[in-house]
Amino acid sequence: MMAQARTVIGESVEESIGGGEDVAPPRLGPAVGALADVFGHGRAVARHGVSFGRELAKIAVGRSTVAPAKGDRRFADSAWSANPAYRRLGQTYLAATEAVDGVVDEVGRAIGPRRTAEARFAADILTAALAPTNYLWTNPAALKEAFDTAGLSLARGTKHFVSDLIENRGMPSMVQRGAFTVGKDLAVTPGAVISRDEVAEVLQYTPTTETVRRRPVLVVPPPIGRYYFLDLRPGRSFVEYSVGRGLQTFLLSWRNPTAEQGDWDFDTYAGRVIRAIDEVREITGSDDVNLIGFCAGGIIATTVLNHLAAQGDTRVHSMAYAVTMLDFGDPALLGAFARPGLIRFAKGRSRRKGIISARDMGSAFTWMRPNDLVFNYVVNNYLMGRTPPAFDILAWNDDGTNLPGALHGQFLDIFRDNVLVEPGRLAVLGTPVDLKSITVPTFVSGAIADHLTAWRNCYRTTQLLGGETEFALSFSGHIASLVNPPGNPKAHYWTGGTPGPDPDAWLENAERQQGSWWQAWADWVLARGGEETAAPDAPGSAHDRALDAAPGRYVRDLPAG
């Protein structure tokens, strides 16, 4: 997202956990209410309470087999297994968490998926917050660090805590500030800005091969978050890889809107994509282009395809989707944030303030994974007194952008009412959306560990559009799948035949491939790239001259002049 789910539900999540400057709902609001309702089911609570009591008896006499899940780094210190007191403390916490999860799962079968998702959201935050590793006296590693440093770790932790209170609204910092500079360390693939208006810049990347395919690729990133997750660093850059495969690669860099641009909506962004298509066509001399949309950028590109299809316009030859969802009909999907009242409140606040801030979007995403994205850093920064890591993707995640209130409201409508999949429910550029009218070839990708845009929901896109389609599945998570280069020895993906209606059946028959889904996409788009031609000597054209070197101005919030 950063990501599509951040875009769609950001304000709703922020309100539900009590963030923002003028929030009316109580802390955790409806989610806490749902959890209270769950624990009002006495029989389920009693059953799991009895099981918890039996496990406590086993823990007390040292016969319990309860252990942390594989990969749970919270209990990595040897004291959690070697010290009897800490072992019993950890087992008690894990057994209690299992009991809470069991109650939510059992009652969830009776109260429905959306209410269950609300309860699960609150339960995950509650159990994550109560982990003994979050507190000094019950964290053996933190106590050892304090002893070994003669208390210096606690002094550093206090300094970090005060800094976060002042500069980060009390949230623990996930990345070392100032460790990376855009244009110097990040977003360094050579290129030029060949177009700029008030909405976006268009970047053209410098070819690295003697010949290129005549039909260019235009990348449409999401309108929330800077584009450079697609151009992190050499070796971890999607656009660098694309250029290296002999593809003429162009990319939209959206402007970071202020309250003055609060009325920007789908028409604004879709219209800019169409203008960019024409600019790319003029520079390359190609009659049409291949598009690829990432996250919510794929939704915007879809409305463009729909508009062009209605006019019989063939300016787009093919479309690729990366972790993009078009169908939000899954009743369990992000259900903790789907309450109509909460969405109405969020839309009203969007209209009042004009924009949804990057800070609010960041908080929304963070609380969906409290162990990894909150309490992990509480322990690292405050208890251990360590500086947050200098990691490129975390630096990008911390460098957010705003979202116009009008566009945010439309995304909330898509999320709440699933208006994209019902013909005529949404109109963009004056054209009612009908997904079956889109008949260009499509390449759809998802990520098997994606907790934001679940891969089966991404797969649904193959059944919604009207043209031939292929699907590829990455092994990793939402953002990890987008920054995972082919050289990673752990990377793999699945490809298969023509996607049918059942995603699990597709996966059962798919073939595992070593490397990154980037390779499958590049092979697919090269087959639709037209003939080879000599690589251009310079960016731009006589009509669209190069303005600045990449990464441009908008990614750094510099004025257009």
pLDDT band at 489 (very low <50, low <70, confident <90, very high): confident
Cα(467)–Cα(302) distance, integer angstroms: 13
| Nearest by Cα to 248 from 276, 214, 282, 279 | 214
461's tokens: 């896109």
At residue 481, the 3 state secondary structure works out as helix
Architecture of domain 191-330+427-556: 3-Layer(aba) Sandwich (3.40)
Res 2 pLDDT > 50 = no
pLDDT band at 481 (very low <50, low <70, confident <90, very high): confident
104's tokens: 């939510």
State the pLDDT at residue 350.
58
**Tell me, what amino acid is at 197?**
D
State the pLDDT at residue 221.
97
Res 442 pLDDT > 50 = yes
Cis peptide before 389 (omega within 30 of 0): no
At residue 198, the 3 state secondary structure works out as coil
Res 20 pLDDT > 60 = no
Res 164 pLDDT > 60 = yes
Per residue in 43-78, pLDDT tens? 889 999 999 999 999 999 999 999 999 889 999 999
Please state the rounded mean pLDDT for residues 81-110. 93
Q: Are 20 and 360 in contact (CB under 8 A)?
A: yes
| Nearest by Cα to 30 from 42, 12, 5, 46 | 12
Q: Are 179 and 224 in contact (CB under 8 A)?
A: no
pLDDT band at 335 (very low <50, low <70, confident <90, very high): very low
What b/e sequence results for 196-232 when a residue is b if at least 16 CB atoms lie within 10 Å of its CB, and e otherwise?
beebbbbbbbbbeeeebbebbbbbbbbbbbbbbbbbb
What b/e sequence results for 538-558 when a residue is b if at least 16 CB atoms lie within 10 Å of its CB, and e otherwise?
ebbbeebebbeebbbbbbeee
Sign of the Cα pseudo-torsion (503, 505, 507, 510, in order): negative
Res 32 pLDDT > 80 = no
Please state the rounded mean pLDDT for residues 531-558. 93
529's tokens: 């790239």
Task: Note the pTM of the prediction, 2 decimals.
Answer: 0.84
Write out the residue limits of the CATH 3.40.50.1820 domain(s) in the chain.
191-330+427-556
Percent of the chain with pLDDT over 90: 66
Res 5 pLDDT > 90 = no
Please state the rounded mean pLDDT for residues 366-388. 90
Cα(174)–Cα(397) distance, integer angstroms: 9
pLDDT band at 415 (very low <50, low <70, confident <90, very high): confident
Res 11 pLDDT > 60 = no
479's tokens: 């953002």
Cα(541)–Cα(280) distance, integer angstroms: 10
pLDDT band at 351 (very low <50, low <70, confident <90, very high): low
Res 211 pLDDT > 60 = yes
435's tokens: 């997904």
Could you tell me the CA-to-CA distances from 399 to 165, 175, 396 in Å, in that order? 18, 10, 5
**Tell me, what amino acid is at 318?**
S
Res 84 pLDDT > 50 = yes
Inter-helix orientation angle 113-129/84-111, to 10°: 170
At residue 428, the 3 state secondary structure works out as strand
Higher-pLDDT residue of 13 and 53 is 53
pLDDT band at 399 (very low <50, low <70, confident <90, very high): confident
State the pLDDT at residue 352.
63
CA 297 to chain centre: 12
Res 338 pLDDT > 90 = no
The neighbouring-strand residues paired with 237 are: 231
State the pLDDT at residue 364.
60
State the pLDDT at residue 12.
31
Percent of the chain with pLDDT over 70: 89
Angle 458-462-465 from CA coordinates, rounded to 5°: 115
pLDDT band at 281 (very low <50, low <70, confident <90, very high): very high
The neighbouring-strand residues paired with 191 are: 205
Residues 6+ positions from 243 with CB-CB distance below 8 Å = 189, 205, 206, 207, 208, 209, 249
Cα(145)–Cα(139) distance, integer angstroms: 10
* Locus of tokens 């059942």: 502
pLDDT band at 347 (very low <50, low <70, confident <90, very high): low
Kind plus residue range of the DSSP H or E element containing 304: helix 296-310
pLDDT band at 30 (very low <50, low <70, confident <90, very high): low
Helices (H), 112-220: 113-129, 140-148, 152-167
Give the DSSP letter of residue 380.
I
Per residue in 222-256, pLDDT tens? 998 899 999 999 999 999 999 999 999 999 999 99
The neighbouring-strand residues paired with 203 are: 193, 251
Cα(248)–Cα(280) distance, integer angstroms: 10
Res 9 pLDDT > 80 = no
State the pLDDT at residue 344.
56
Could you tell me the CA-to-CA distances from 322 to 5, 67, 76, 294, 443 in Å, in that order? 13, 37, 35, 5, 9
The neighbouring-strand residues paired with 218 are: 250, 291
What b/e sequence results for 304-329 when a residue is b if at least 16 CB atoms lie within 10 Å of its CB, and e otherwise?
bbbbbbbeeeebbbbbbbbbbbbbbe
Res 365 pLDDT > 70 = no
Average pLDDT, the chain: 88
State the pLDDT at residue 250.
98
Res 6 pLDDT > 80 = no
Res 261 pLDDT > 80 = yes
pLDDT band at 532 (very low <50, low <70, confident <90, very high): very high
Least confident piece of the model among 67-81, 104-118, 218-232, 530-544: 104-118
10's tokens: 């950001």
Residues with catalytic roles: 295
CA 169 to chain centre: 22
Phi-psi region of 208 (alpha: psi -120 to 50; beta: other; left: phi over 0): alpha
Please state the rounded mean pLDDT for residues 25-32. 52
At residue 127, the 3 state secondary structure works out as helix
Kind plus residue range of the DSSP H or E element containing 192: strand 191-196
Kind plus residue range of the DSSP H or E element containing 99: helix 84-111
Question: DSSP per residue over 305-350, as a string?
Answer: HHHHHHTT---EEEEEEES-------TTTTGGG--HHHHHHHHHHH
Cα(290)–Cα(304) distance, integer angstroms: 13
302's tokens: 């879809």
pLDDT band at 111 (very low <50, low <70, confident <90, very high): confident
